[in-house]
Structure formats: structure tokens, C-alpha cells
Amino acid sequence: MRIDISGHQIDVTPALRDYVQDKFARVSRHYDHHLDARVILSVDKLEQKAEATLSTPGKTLFADAIAPDMYAAIDLLSDKLDRLLVKQKEKMTDHHRGQSAARSDSFG
């Protein structure tokens, strides 16, 4: 997984960079394919905002989170992306592969 981290009106410290990469490692374990993520950390008065665009094969996912603390915003963002990726992965799997009564040759 390649992560591009940038900041708007905030300096992205090595601690923040490591924290984002650690949280996104959890997100990337759900997906076998190559992922590109663009993370933008920004500050607007008292709100800390983290937003990410995740490029998967065939789909681009976007999530954002706002919290009073940047680390909390990153936590919320990783949770949202985690749910989005699981949902996307479930959509991509073929749910009709198993044996069902309608598809079997014997109609009892």
C-alpha cells in the first residue's frame, strides 16, 4: 500500500506520519490488491480534519473524519475506511458460487 500524506495549515510530523501508516496497515490487510491512498490532514480553527481517498481497482473510496484531536480524527478515518473496504470487498465476491436448491440438478 502506498500512502501519500500531506497537510493543509499543519506540519505533518514524523509521529503523525507513523501513526497514519500504522492505522492504514490495518486497513490494507482486508484487501489483497494494490492500494493507493491519499491522506490530507487539515486544521480549521478548533476542528482537526483527516480525509482520505483510496484508489482500488475499479473503484475510488473517500472518507473524512472531524475530531477535536488529530489522532482521534485519524482513528475515526481508519475505522470508516475499514468499513468501506469490507463493504466493497463483499460486493466484489460472487455470492452465487455455493450450492443452492434452485441451482442443483435434482429437484427432489
Q: Where are the domains of the chain?
A: 2-87
Task: Report H helices in 1-108.
Answer: 14-28, 70-92
Tell me which fold the domain 2-87 belongs to.
Double Stranded RNA Binding Domain (3.30.160)
Dist. CA 51–CA 53, nearest whole Å: 7
- pLDDT means per 10 residues in the chain (108 residues)? 90 94 85 83 92 87 94 95 85 62 51
Model pTM above 0.85: no
Give the integer Cα–Cα distance in Å for 80 and 50. Answer: 11
CB 53, CB 20: distance < 8 Å: no
